[in-house]
């Protein structure tokens, strides 16, 4: 609930006839830029995104993430966005690449079941 209260523009749901079929939850984080005075950059972090299986491949995930990225830039001044994704989740990795994300590193054993995660990053336009 804290993320929703602090960053409501990046907590979005997709509905079909009143039923939630997908959602995205993001937050904004601050990062020091080489410890220079006032050198603070804002980063968006996509914490969670999901679409029900029967609604996938219809552009819902793309639309949710696109709207969240726009809000991160326009409402919160983020300069980049990052997320973690299972290395085995090829459809999600392809979606993120389609939206301009790049794999920056692998975190070994990130998930509880021991699977690795990609950290993917997208630079956002300065507004």
Q: What is the pLDDT of residue 121?
A: 96
Question: Residue 81 carries which DSSP code?
Answer: E
Q: What is the mean pLDDT of residues 87-116?
A: 97
- pLDDT tens digits, residue range 8-39? 788 999 999 999 999 999 998 877 555 555 55
CATH number of the CATH domain containing 71:
3.40.630.30
Helices 90-98, 60-74: inter-axial angle, 10-degree rounding: 50
Q: How many domains does one find in the chain?
A: 1
Domain that holds residue 52: 2-123
The pair of structure tokens assigned to 66 is 């696109």
Per-residue confidence band for 116, with pLDDT thresholds at 50, 70 and 90: very high
Q: Tell me the HSE value of 97 on the side-chain side, using a 13 A CA sphere.
A: 9
Q: What is the pLDDT of residue 40?
A: 62
């Amino acid at each position: 609930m804290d993320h929703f209260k602090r960053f409501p523009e990046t907590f979005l749901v997709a509905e079909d006839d009143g039923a939630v079929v997908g959602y995205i939850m993001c937050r904004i984080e601050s990062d020091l830029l080489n410890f220079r005075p006032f050198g603070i950059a804002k980063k968006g972090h996509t914490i969670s995104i999901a679409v029900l299986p029967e609604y996938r491949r219809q552009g819902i995930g793309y639309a949710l993430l696109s709207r969240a990225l726009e809000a991160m830039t326009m409402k919160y001044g983020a300069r980049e966005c990052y997320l973690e994704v299972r290395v085995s989740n090829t459809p999600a990795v392809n979606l993120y690449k389609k939206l301009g994300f790049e794999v920056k590193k692998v975190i070994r054993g990130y998930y509880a079941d021991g699977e690795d995660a990609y950290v993917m990053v997208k630079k956002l336009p300065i507004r």
